[in-house]
């Protein structure tokens, strides 16, 4: 059972154009908190398609190359849906710290999806750091998480 994330591995991060500015800021927050970061794009605010960045970010989590993942788009719905197509990825769309905590404690989420158009940057950063520092509780939740994969 995984309880916390391994800082020996990087955090994979990706965003579309709506999340680009947040991604750039969140990379700095991660680095300031001792995380290595693997940026999977986008690399500008030019209009782009979120799956082009959500898939490579989720693939790093799926393969174990990344400890966890962070995805950002306007609503976070598109990147969350895309990431959850990957086996072993449990991406959670979060809008406050309490949801981020529960996504880890109860669902053992390994990716956090942030809605740049609906939360302030500070809230996004706080959610991300809370998510990364919260342990999975296991116990009764373990059985439920095991039922997610088909």
Q: Which residues are catalytic, by number? A: 73, 106
Listed in sequence order, the residues at least 6 apart from 140 whose beta carbon sits closer than 8 Å to its beta carbon are none
Listed in sequence order, the residues at least 6 apart from 35 whose beta carbon sits closer than 8 Å to its beta carbon are 7, 10, 11, 132
Instruction: Give the CA radius of gyration of the chain.
Output: 14
Q: How many distinct helices (H) and strands (E) make up the chain?
A: 6, 5
């Amino acid at each position: 059972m995984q309880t916390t994330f391994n800082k020996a591995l990087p955090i994979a991060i990706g965003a579309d154009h709506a999340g680009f500015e947040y991604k750039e800021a969140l990379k700095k927050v991660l680095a300031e908190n001792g995380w290595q970061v693997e940026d999977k794009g986008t690399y500008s605010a030019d209009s782009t398609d979120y799956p082009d960045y959500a898939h490579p970010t989720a693939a790093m989590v799926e393969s174990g190359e990344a400890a966890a993942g962070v995805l950002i788009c306007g609503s976070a719905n598109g990147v969350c849906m895309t990431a959850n197509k990957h086996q072993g990825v449990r991406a959670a769309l979060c809008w406050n710290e309490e949801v981020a905590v529960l996504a880890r404690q109860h669902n053992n989420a390994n990716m956090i999806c942030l809605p740049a158009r609906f939360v302030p940057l500070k809230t996004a950063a706080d959610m991300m750091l809370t998510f990364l520092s919260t342990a999975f509780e296991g116990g009764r939740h373990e059985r439920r998480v095991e039922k997610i994969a088909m």
